[in-house]
Structure 1
Amino acid sequence: MSGVVSGPAPLRVLGIESSCDETGVALVELPEGSAGVAPPRLLAHALHSQIDMHQAYGGVVPELASRDHIRRVVPLAREVLSQSGLGLDAIDVVAYTRGPGLAGALLVGTGVACALGLALQRPVLGVHHLEGHLLSPFLSADPPEFPFIALLVSGGHTQLMRVEGVGRYEQLGETIDDAAGEAFDKTAKMLGLGYPGGPALARLAEQGRADAFALPRPLLRAGNLDFSFAGLKTAVRTQLLKLEAAQALTEAARADLAASTQAAIVEVLVAKSLAALKGSGLRRLVVAGGVGANRSLRQQLDAACQRRGVRVHYPELHLCTDNGAMIALAAAMRLQAGLAQPSEAYAFDVQPRWELTQR
């Protein structure tokens, strides 16, 4: 694979994502002779969400997730190739999510990727799930430029990073307990909204008043860029018990509590992001991960950054959740930057816990 990025033909990377409860497959292309110049482009992608399967349990069941990945990944790969109009022989590299994530789920995507690579005699490349999210806005209609501050709000992760380039990440702050996504999901569960909680809570919040309950803004004035949402979850629970005891937990009260919770989370995320921008002197912000699709967060970040002359970039809405496109993209950008060498050994492991800055 030496010289694969700068060779005469386009480089096509098939990406497989299976870290949790979405199975994603995508095909990304680096244009001919594009090393370090042209951005990769998405040729096709397909995604299956396991939401319906896990709803009955109120959350992800790892064993069921793994089994469903097994059923979905090959049909999704066929769908992607059909969309692109290309055959298996057009694939140059097979990329897969190596971690972090659920071990069993990761092993499914990794195993399929390595088997496919071996069968096609193509090299494979393991990708960090959060790096995929971090770089996903490069597939948007308004891609960012390096350097920038990144707010990563994906599942159990809430982090602020200074990003100088592909693979050049400095962590500025992270959650010390519950992440923003967990705060959304756990509050939704307390309110009886089911799974997935975040989007359900956001919908309910649209019907409520954000100033109805005085909920805490954890670490808002701590003088650092770390996050903590466990205390907010406890405060919501306390307020909920008070409403139940007073027989005042009406539909309007539930909506008010949802809106007040969302307002507290969003205020902290916005304030910390602005503090990171001010401390770094940078004028560009990237927001990535599932929570990055939250409408209130986008509106408040857009407004605050516009007042400060800061550009904000997001992934396209359909690429905010876990997907194969971000995995193929991260692999392609690492290859383009000369930071990765695909393997033809096909001996693999997975990293359920894996710090992005260890890349």
Structure 2
Amino acid sequence: MKKKLILGIESSCDDTAVAIIQQNRCVLSNVILRQKIHKEYGGVVPELASRFHEKNLFLAVDKAITSAKINRYQINAVSCSLGPGLMGSLLVGVSFAKSFSMGLKIPLITVNHVQAHILVHFIKKANINNYSPKFPFLCLMISGGHTQIIKVNDFFKMEILGSTLDDSVGEAFDKIARVLGFSYPGGPLLDHFSKNGCSNKFMFSKPYVNELDFSFSGFKSHVFQFLNNQSKKDSFFIKKNLSDLCASVQKTIAEILLEKMKKATIKTGIFRIALAGGVSANNEIRRCFILFAKKNKKWKIFIPKKKYSTDNGAMIAITGLLKYEKKIFDSINITPYSKLKKSF
């Protein structure tokens, strides 16, 4: 019997991503078309994002099918992001998936974007360990739009234990990076410049937040105030200390995240920890968690390979495959949503 093939479409923000996965959980193609125009505006412009998805989606799907060395009639189901995300961008992807489903008379499967980031760990050899976590496990979901601690009981049974009260960690990185003089998206540039810096050069305050929630607005304000005060004394302060500032900011954020996860393991008694989301590609956060896990043998750490950290079609395809195997299909009348629910 031929292995089933699932097409995955991700269009929740500004990246147009399409992938095809086989029933053995091997990715046959994983195409990402990035929208560079947002760099001119210092952030994602929703209207432009949806317009470019319309332009890029046909190209991305065609490229994914060609790269997988199949034809469209071999595809058994189409999956797509339903939310959370930018409503206009989601509508483009969902509309395309509906048309694809109707045209080929195959099932439509819609996917929770956050859930898909977590389930990327079940793609064959998707994380640095090359094997998947056992249930239950804790996932630290960190991206430009989300910062949550999620208890994962099963593929489709997850509960948010803690969340950010204000900015996501990705927003904090990007806003601090902008003040340091980097263009959008600034987080990866801050990470790059930190490599040659001393992470102990500057000390920044860590916010105190009850339970397992996060807050980055106070930390961000402290960094802004520090940079403003130092720049008044020396207008070249940032330029002279750029690498050390980047390294110090990253270290503080990594420690904030790690300290919360330590609390989560104590509270739940679960020591299988997965990272997910675009910010999980950050080198200092990865290093910090890996180092702690090596010292604490109870911890089993799961970190996605970088190509599966940022938004990608493969995470939608694997979630679609897992739903396909359970015969969880959707109506053609389903509509996208922008907000994340407490449990999903």
Q: Give the aligned partner of residue 257 of structure 1.
A: 245
Q: 1:233 aligns with which of 220, 225, 232?
A: 220
Q: 1:133 aligns with which of 94, 97, 117?
A: 117
Q: Give the aligned partner of residue 328 of structure 2.
A: 341
Q: Give the aligned partner of residue 91 of structure 2.
A: 107
Q: How does 1:31-70 map to 2 (within 5 A)?
A: 31=24, 40-50=25-35, 52-70=36-54
2:180–2:238 contact (8 Å) kept in structure 1 = no
Deviations, residues 159-185 of structure 1 (Å, cap 9, x unaligned): 111111111212211111111111100
1:195 aligns with 2:184: yes
Aligned residues: CA RMSD: 1.5
Counterpart of 1:116, as a letter, is F
CA distance in 2, matches of 1:259, 1:82: 42
2:231–2:238 contact (8 Å) kept in structure 1 = no
Q: Which runs of 5+ in 2 are unaligned?
A: none
2:109–2:323 contact (8 Å) kept in structure 1 = no
In the superposition, the TM-score normalised over structure 2's length comes to: 0.94
Number of residue equivalences: 337
Q: 1:122 aligns with which of 94, 106, 114?
A: 106
Identity of aligned residues (%): 35
Q: How does 1:285-300 map to 2 (within 5 A)?
A: 285-300=273-288
1:89 aligns with 2:80: no
Moved over 4 A (4+): none
Deviations, residues 209-264 of structure 1 (Å, cap 9, x unaligned): 22222211112xx4511110000110011011111210252423233222221111
Q: Give the aligned partner of residue 198 of structure 2.
A: 209
Q: Give the aligned partner of residue 24 of structure 1.
A: 17
2:109–2:324 contact (8 Å) kept in structure 1 = no
Q: Give the aligned partner of residue 10 of structure 1.
A: 3
Q: 1:183 aligns with which of 172, 175, 179?
A: 172
1:19–1:106 contact (8 Å) kept in structure 2 = yes
Deviations, residues 189-208 of structure 1 (Å, cap 9, x unaligned): 11110111111111222233
In the superposition, the TM-score normalised over structure 1's length comes to: 0.90
Deviations, residues 25-46 of structure 1 (Å, cap 9, x unaligned): 1111224xxxxxxxx2212121
Q: Give the aligned partner of residue 244 of structure 1.
A: 231
SS at match of 1:287: strand
1:236–1:257 contact (8 Å) kept in structure 2 = no
Q: How does 1:151-166 map to 2 (within 5 A)?
A: 151-166=140-155
CA distance in 2, matches of 1:13, 1:175: 33
CA distance in 1, matches of 2:151, 2:303: 16
Q: Which runs of 5+ in 1 are unaligned?
A: 1-7, 32-39
Q: Give the aligned partner of residue 211 of structure 2.
A: 224
* Post-superposition offset of 1:9: 4.5
* Post-superposition offset of 1:13: 1.2
Q: 1:274 aligns with which of 243, 262, 272?
A: 262
